């Protein structure tokens, strides 16, 4: 490449994959990087459930994007939603603006997917963003308050029914955390009701929880959840979700607190590229994370379907996105030096899921941990991968206090309560 001529790289999405790519690309002065994201913060998604259950505050797991990469001279950050990508013209359109590129990295992530039952969105809440986490937190905390005010034990019970759909790590972690919140942490703070009467139901369609883990770890997680008072229903399909609750074969589970953790769907911008996608809307990529016939267009993370040499596509987890982000950045920098490209190879660093206080499961290849040791490993891994020194310290201190005092101090309901329009207050 001629001296002084810069190549422009547009990165859509500053999640785990996008951030890693930008950090590595920014070290090359021959590159101009444009980062576009519809959020102004980088989010540590694995701990969203702790915001949803009032253990952590939003600022503990999110950090402003500009504070991470805004000071890099060859990186320009835009807040905006990408409306269209024209891979023939090499243009990205967002917020009434058009940006040309030499290379494109699409790392736009995923959203909750309902397997074609999009009407279920109205009666359930997914967990993919801070907005989702705060919505769940408000519903849970408000349900305690409604139950306290009800005056009728049967009415109170209806408010304290929580249903989590999906027995992967997110569902397991949410179920365990809600059980601890209701059965232990806030139990002595209400006097009309007993929050320990809360009923938490975890539903999984496949035969066992945590399908990506060894069967022994799945069974361990199930037993520990049941010990915490969670009803675990495996091999159970959801037939419908409506204003009354969740319908499964043989019965209806009444609940106004339904959390969806069963599936994800790729960001719709991927489908607009006009290239092959899979049934989850993920863009099919080759061994270099490129889309078909476009070596300058890379798709990584949750929005990519990478299956070269594998039985099934790589999972939508943060280690995959981070490794792909670093990989495509290396390819682009290598292109500038006319280096031959080498295929992407994922190094599986294992899986983890926490069940609750002093309980977690972890698996790296044939090496497995459970219980207290798994929990300690889970704590340190999540601290290590957290972005930002302040956030690491804040989370560590919060966790130490929560462990010692068995408290969840982020129990703030942001909305004010309004009096009902049909109030019986006399004139």
Catalytic residues: 173
Gap between the Cα atoms of 380 and 351, Å rounded: 14
DSSP helix/strand/coil, 177: helix
Query: Which sign does the torsion angle of CA 82, 84, 90, 91 carry?
Result: negative
C-beta pairs of 79-84 under 8 Å, 24+ apart in sequence: 79/37, 79/38, 79/39, 79/40, 80/36, 80/37, 80/38, 81/38, 82/12, 82/36, 82/38, 82/108, 82/269, 84/272
Gap between the Cα atoms of 146 and 71, Å rounded: 47
Nearest to 16 by CA among 50, 49, 53, 63: 63
The structure tokens listed for 377 are 């490993």
Per DSSP, the residues of 52-71 read: HTTSS-HHHHEEEHHHHHTT
CA-based angle 305:309:312, to the nearest 5? 45
Nearest to 267 by CA among 108, 107, 142: 108
Residue with tokens 């990295």: 105
Gap between the Cα atoms of 107 and 87, Å rounded: 15
The structure tokens listed for 217 are 């770890």
Summary count for the chain: helices (H), strands (E): 11, 25
Nearest to 324 by CA among 15, 9, 21, 44: 21
What is the 3-state composition of the chain as percent helix, strand, coil, each rounded to the nearest 5?
35, 25, 40
């Amino acid at each position: 490449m001629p001296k002084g001529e810069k190549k422009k790289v547009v990165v859509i999405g500053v999640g785990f994959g996008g951030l890693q790519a930008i950090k590595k690309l920014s070290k090359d002065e021959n590159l101009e990087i444009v980062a576009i994201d519809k959020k102004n913060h980088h989010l540590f998604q694995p701990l969203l459930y702790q915001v949803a259950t009032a253990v952590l505050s939003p600022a503990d797991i999110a950090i402003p994007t500009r504070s991470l990469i805004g000071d890099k001279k060859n990186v320009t950050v835009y807040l905006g939603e990408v409306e269209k990508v024209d891979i023939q013209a090499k243009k990205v359109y967002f917020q009434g603006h058009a940006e040309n590129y030499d290379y494109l990295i699409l790392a736009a992530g995923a959203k909750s997917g309902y397997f074609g039952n999009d009407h279920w969105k109205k009666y359930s809440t997914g967990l993919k963003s801070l907005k989702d986490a705060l919505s769940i937190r408000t519903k849970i905390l408000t349900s305690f308050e409604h139950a306290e005010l009800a005056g009728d034990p049967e009415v109170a019970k209806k408010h304290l029914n929580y249903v989590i759909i999906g027995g992967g790590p997110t569902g397991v972690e949410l179920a365990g955390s809600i059980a601890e919140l209701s059965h232990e942490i806030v139990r002595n703070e209400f006097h009309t009701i007993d929050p320990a009467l809360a009923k938490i139901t975890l539903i999984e369609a496949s035969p066992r929880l945590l399908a990506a883990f060894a069967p022994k770890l799945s069974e361990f997680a199930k037993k520990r959840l049941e010990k915490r008072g969670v009803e675990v229903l495996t091999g159970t399909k959801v037939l419908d979700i409506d204003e009354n609750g969740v319908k499964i074969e043989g019965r209806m589970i009444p609940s106004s607190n339904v959390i969806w953790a069963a599936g994800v769907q790729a960001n719709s911008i991927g489908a607009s590229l006009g290239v092959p996608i899979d049934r989850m809307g993920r863009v099919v990529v080759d061994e270099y994370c490129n889309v078909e016939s476009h070596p300058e267009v890379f798709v990584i993370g949750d929005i990519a379907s990478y299956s070269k040499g594998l039985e099934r596509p790589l999972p939508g987890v943060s280690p995959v996105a981070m490794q792909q982000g670093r990989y495509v950045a290396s390819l682009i920098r290598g292109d500038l030096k006319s280096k031959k490209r080498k295929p992407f190879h994922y190094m599986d660093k294992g899986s983890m899921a926490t069940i609750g206080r002093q309980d977690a499961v972890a698996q790296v290849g044939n090496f497995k941990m459970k219980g207290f040791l798994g929990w300690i490993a889970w704590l340190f891994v999540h601290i290590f991968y957290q972005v930002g020194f302040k956030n690491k310290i804040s989370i560590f201190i919060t966790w130490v206090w929560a462990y010692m005092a068995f408290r969840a101090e982020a129990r703030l309901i942001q909305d004010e309560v309004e009096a009902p329009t049909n109030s019986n207050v006399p004139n």
